[in-house]
Structure 1
Amino acid sequence: MRKYIGSVIAILLLVGCSSIGEDKFSSSYVKSHIIAKKTTKAEVQAIYGVPDDQNVYSDGTTEWQYDKSGNLSSASSIVGYIPGAGAVSSALGLANTASNASSSATKASAKMSGDTEYRANRFYIRFDDKGVVDSWHM
């Protein structure tokens, strides 16, 4: 049981820390860090980690998808199948709910303050056949 409590605390700390600092899903952050014809897959992965999903096309190009929630809900449902891991599954579900609430609060605050910065919950990066960013969209 102690291991589960430690896991729950670690997950909540990671979710809490992810909301501190610059929003990596804001258009200004992406514009300044993901530059077409320059940024490589390795550089993108250093910023955002392993993509949440990816597509490979017949012309050799690839597209990576990143979700702001980092697929916490998927992790929660997977952990639910592990015997005795109910507490971890519940913590992941709570972390996902907290992440969604934080996102909603950020949007509401921006709307009230007149901030017009676009913040996405998901964005896509397309790479050419050499692994360099071709384009991105949110």
Structure 2
Amino acid sequence: MKKILILLFAVMLSACSNIGGNADKFESQYVKSNLIVGKTTQDQVIAAFGSPDSKSLDNNGNETWLYRKDEGFDMLSAVSGYIPGGSAAAGANDARNDANEKGTYNRLWVSFNKKGIVTSWNM
């Protein structure tokens, strides 16, 4: 039983280490300053945001990249019912989700033309 509790505690700590891992990259001001339509290249987007979570190509050869916010706290929410005091952790997760209403978002789409230049972005 003690080993199980230690394992659950370790999982909880590792989930906490992921909180906000890339949250600042989803703030409106950061996005606006790093994505300039008609100027920013794919290499510059990778430098600012990292590799995209997914890519899609339309019939005209234009590419769209999708970035998703790191959701490291979701595992903690899933196990919170099994851990004494876990409801407090679930409450912290709810507070994190509420922060999204203050200028941060969960997804970012960036579209490029055939030359790899940003044509639009959306959050």
Task: Please give the TM-score of this superposition, normalised by the length of structure 2.
Answer: 0.65
Partners of 1:53 and 1:99 in 2: how far apart? 29
Question: Contact conserved, 2:67 with 2:109, CA < 8 A, in 1?
Answer: yes
Please identify, of 122-131 and 23-32, the stretch whose mean Cα deviation from structure 2 is larger.
23-32
Partners of 2:69 and 2:55 in 1: how far apart? 15
Question: Contact conserved, 2:20 with 2:70, CA < 8 A, in 1?
Answer: no
Partner of 1:94: 76
Gaps in structure 1 of 5+ consecutive residues: 73-90, 111-117
Task: Please give the TM-score of this superposition, normalised by the length of structure 1.
Answer: 0.58
Partner of 1:103: 96
SS at match of 2:19: helix
Gaps in structure 2 of 5+ consecutive residues: 79-89
Question: Contact conserved, 1:52 with 1:67, CA < 8 A, in 2?
Answer: yes
CA RMSD of aligned residues (A): 3.3
How many aligned residue pairs are there? 105
% identical aligned pairs: 31
- Is 1:52 the counterpart of 2:53 in the alignment? yes
Letter in 1 for 2:33: S
Shift of 1:52: 1.1
Shift of 1:106: 2.0
Greater CA radius of gyration, 1 or 2? 2
- Is 1:135 the counterpart of 2:117 in the alignment? no
Post-superposition CA distance 1:59-111 (Å, at most 9, x none): 111000111126x5xxxxxxxxxxxxxxxxxx872289799545324246x4x
